[in-house]
Amino acid sequence: MIPLFVMLAAILVARGVGAIGWQPLDDWQVATRLGLAVMFAFTAAAHFNSMRADLIRMVPPRLPYPAALVTLTGFAELAGAVGLLVPGVARWAAYGMIGLLVVLFPANIHAARDGLTIRGRPATPLATRLPLQLLWIGLLWWAAG
């Protein structure tokens, strides 16, 4: 849930900056792309900090090289976050992030079903996680313009 709050706060701050006169952020789609970029940068950091071991455990056992997959997905999230901020590639970055959310969902299913923890707390239940994933996918699609 923390990534959701990070995204919402970043969108609102961006729109606030746009409302007081910085023209590039005076647009909901641009502010939403910025909020999503902040959120994905925030979640990408988890792939390389103290949460890394928890994320490695989230990788379904049938997949090889879980540590490498966590590293790869961390870099993909970071690249997508940067791409969302570059007007010329923002649409493609949004589509790439949609694909990444779909590909990563089995890890969230595995974590929820197996009762894994992240930072000592239970993984987000599927009844919450699925609507969040759909919200992020919808916002990415809309913000892609």
In the chain, domain spans: 2-143
Q: What is the pLDDT along the chain (145 residues), one digit of tens a residue?
A: 899 999 999 999 999 999 998 888 889 999 999 999 999 999 999 999 999 999 999 999 999 999 999 999 999 999 999 999 999 999 999 999 999 999 999 999 999 999 999 999 999 999 999 999 999 999 999 999 8
Count of alpha carbons within 13 angstroms of residue 13, beta-carbon side: 10
Q: Which two tokens stand for residue 54?
A: 């928890």
Element (H, E) at 90: helix 90-113
